[in-house]
Amino acid sequence: MPYKNITLQSENNITLVTINRPDKLNALNIETIDELHRAFLETENDQNCKVIILTGSGNKAFVAGADISEFYKFTVEQGKQLSADGHTKLFNLIEDLSKPVIAAINGFALGGGLELAMSCHIRVASNNAKMGLPEVSLGVIPGYGGTQRLPQLVGKGKAMEMIFTAQMITAQDALNCKLVNYVTSSEELLNQCKEIATQICKNSPTAISAAVRSINAGFAGNNGLNTEIEEFGKCFGTADFKEGTLAFLEKRKPQFTGC
């Protein structure tokens, strides 16, 4: 089924996913979440895709949050379902994807928009980006993982300040508190993301997916060190491991197959 609210472009093993509702500042309505769910499953199964870059269309917003017009009349049960569905369909899916996802934050990343960026593995922001979790100013809390992922990235104190004040921070502030990895000009944003992606593409996809599982296990409280031992051991059974070590010994560049 074709997409209405997002676009996908693939080149050099990198898939660019763009959320395309610029007139609504790319706000995440349920239809867009469903499309992103399908798109990320598609990239996960695409043998040619090694890294995904996620961005928003236009020069104003990455994503200005969940679509307020859709949920303002929801009941307690519907609110709970909205959050649960979002976690399963999109935010956890991205975090646990076996391929690295880089958020190219090209403007406002607010509420669900910042939560979406935080579910990605790496974040790069343009210097005009503004980030925040303004939910308490609407009488609600972050419901797409923000109360958990923001403290992981910036620490509990800074996360509490950002959530309680509902204020936006600048890209430079986000860099200072480690919410983003890099800040660039708007013009350079996608290039910088592609440079990181290109570097990742040189490495073993099987090892990278094992690293994702191992790192995430620790943050999920699932005994990360035990997961590391298991995943480390499994690497020895892969063709990528044989190729990577042999290429080193033969003083040549490895040709990884992701097997």
Give the nearest distance from C-beta 230 to ligand COA in angstroms: 38
Please give the residue ranges that form the binding site for ligand COA (CB under 6 A).
Answer: 24-25, 27, 64-69, 108, 110-112, 134-135, 138
Instruction: Dig out the tokens for 54 from the structure.
Output: 């996620």
Q: Please give the helix or strand (H or E) that residue 144 lies within, else none.
A: none
Give the nearest distance from C-beta 154 to ligand COA in angstroms: 18
Q: Which is nearer to ligand COA, 118 or 196 (CB)?
A: 118
Q: What is the residue type of 150? A: L
Give the nearest distance from C-beta 134 to ligand COA in angstroms: 4
Residue 166 near residue 136, CB atoms below 8 Å: yes
Q: Please give the helix or strand (H or E) that residue 129 lies within, else none.
A: none
Q: Which is nearer to ligand COA, 69 or 88 (CB)?
A: 69
Residue 179 near residue 115, CB atoms below 8 Å: no
Distance in angstroms (rounded) separating the CA atoms of residues 12 and 213: 25
Residue 102: closest CA among 191, 173, 164: 191
Distance in angstroms (rounded) separating the CA atoms of residues 14 and 36: 16
Q: Which is nearer to ligand COA, 127 or 216 (CB)?
A: 127
Give the nearest distance from C-beta 185 to ligand COA in angstroms: 21
Q: Which is nearer to ligand COA, 108 or 256 (CB)?
A: 108
Instruction: Dig out the tokens for 164 from the structure.
Output: 């309680």
Radius of gyration from C-alpha coordinates of the chain: 19
Distance in angstroms (rounded) separating the CA atoms of residues 259 and 257: 5
How many other C-beta atoms can be found within 10 angstroms of the C-beta atom of residue 175?
A: 18
Give the nearest distance from C-beta 241 to ligand COA in angstroms: 44
List, by residue number, the catalytic residues: 115, 135
Between the alpha carbon of residue 124 and those of residues 51, 115, 150, 171, the distances in Å are 14, 14, 16, 9
Q: Which is nearer to ligand COA, 64 or 90 (CB)?
A: 64
